[in-house]
Amino acid sequence: MKNKLFRWSILIIVLLIILLAVSILSLCIGSTGISFDKIVPLVLGDRSSIEHSIVFDIRLPRIILGFAVGSALSVAGVILQGLFRNPLVEPYTLGISGGAALGICLNIVLGIYKIMGVLSLPFVGFTGALIVILFVYFLSIKKGIMKIQELLLTGVMISFITSSLIMLIMAVSRVENLQEIIFWIMGSLEEPNWVLIKAVLLISIIGVIIACFFAIDLNALALGEESAAHLGVNVEKTKKILFVLASLLTGFSVSVTGIIGFVGLVIPHFVRMFVGGDHRILIIASAIVGGTFLILCDTLARTIISPLELPVGVITGIIGGIIFIYFLSKKRMLLGNKN
């Protein structure tokens, strides 16, 4: 056990160093390059300079938000894959993102944000996600027992329904509204409001901590619900708490940044290949790797065709898909060689 804890500690330290390196890289590169040796003087020096504004008003908020959302989506993916014992389940499978997107679309089309301000967008988005969470939750409860398969099927159907409604709204929307909807759906970390950024970061950290407390229960659930019950796990209570936790992490993230795909699906798989299926390390490692991955993807999104910026959801989808296919093929080759 001591050797395992030592290996896990070394792994976490290495991942944190990589996270720090990627964050510093993201601070330095962009349409306006800023060398690393200028970062510290900018912290201590003149705060009215253009470079200070670029680093601390534009790039740093994106890095913090990227880490928070990447961690939240990755941990939500770990929880749901463990809960459903299905490697294809991700945070968006249950229709939560669809509920948030539908709320945002209605907000834009009805012009609510023009009256209530830009902050109404994440508020309405989270409200839409919350309605879907409650709807899926209560439809899946039968006599106090949460039916996992019904939960999954209900979520998938709601996802299809919300997607169809969103396409209907887009079909009848004006051009300016259509552009805003498309931009939001493709995802972006361009959020200047520090209150929202701090809120997402706080919720992400709390969510990861709570998930760590259920790591052993998730390990037991991997053996099946009956086996978990024999091991002393309160299966129904655990399922409900984990579902709500994963849903809230997803809903809050989506409501602020839009739909950023593949993070919650690819990162748990990728990390599981290297650290195994023990949720005691899988949750923490996935949170760090997910945050690092999203920061890196956002850096690429704003620099590949600089000064133009690509939606970060496009980059996560392309890179995440390529990484997933590569490592999946490598894994199959290794298994084939063993056989």
pLDDT in tens, 251-310: 888 888 888 878 888 899 889 888 888 899 999 999 999 999 999 999 998 888 877 788
Residue 335 — very low, low, confident or very high, per pLDDT cuts 50/70/90?
A: very low
Whole-angstrom Cα distance, residue 74 to residue 287?
A: 6
Domain parsing of the chain, residue ranges: 33-42+49-331
Query: What is the pLDDT at residue 332?
Result: 60
Task: Dump pLDDT digits (tens) for 28-50.
Answer: 887 776 776 777 676 666 566 77
Residue-wise pLDDT tens digits, 145-204: 777 778 888 888 888 888 898 888 888 888 778 888 888 788 888 877 888 888 889 999
Most confident residue range from 7-11, 171-175, 225-229:
7-11
In contact, 331 and 339? CB cutoff 8 Å: no
Angle between helices 194-213 and 279-301 (to 10 degrees): 160
Is the Cβ–Cβ distance between 138 and 126 less than 8 Å? no
Cα–Cα distance measured from residue 196 to residue 274, given in angstroms and rounded to the nearest whole number: 33
- Choose among 149, 103, 145: nearest CA to 128: 103
Query: Which range among 39-43, 54-58, 85-89, 296-300 shows the weakest confidence by mean pLDDT?
Result: 39-43
Task: Give the per-residue pLDDT at 288.
Answer: 96
Position 10 confidence tier, pLDDT thresholds 50, 70, 90? very high
* Inter-CA distances, 251 with 49, 66, 133, Å: 37, 15, 9
The answer to whether residue 339 scores a pLDDT higher than 70 is no
Residue 329 has pLDDT above 80, yes or no: no
Cβ atoms of residues 98 and 162 within 8 Å? yes
Among residues of the chain, what percentage have pLDDT more than 70?
Answer: 92
* pLDDT value of residue 337: 52
Mention every residue, 6+ apart, whose C-beta is less than 8 A from residue 278. 215, 219
> What average pLDDT does the structure give for the chain?
84
Is it true that the peptide bond before 307 is cis, omega within 30 degrees of 0? Answer: yes
DSSP conformational letter for 59:
I
Per the model's pLDDT, the better-predicted residue between 22 and 140 turns out to be: 22
198, containing H or E segment: helix 194-213
CA angle 82, 199, 132 (to 5 degrees): 50
pTM for the model = 0.89
Q: What was the pLDDT predicted at 296? A: 93
Q: Which residue, 7, 15, 47, is CA-closest to 284?
A: 15
Nearest to 158 by CA among 93, 107, 77, 90: 93
Task: Say if residue 87's pLDDT is above 70.
Answer: yes
34: its two tokens: 């800023």
CATH 1.10.3470.10 assigned to domain 33-42+49-331? The reply is yes
User: CA–CA separation, 210 vs 196, rounded Å?
Assistant: 21
CB 277 within 8 A of CB 291: no
> In this structure, are residues 297 and 312 in contact, taking their beta carbons and an 8 Å threshold?
yes
In the block, residue with structure tokens 């390196």: 21
Residue 319 structure tokens: 């890179």
Calculate mean pLDDT across residues 72-101.
86
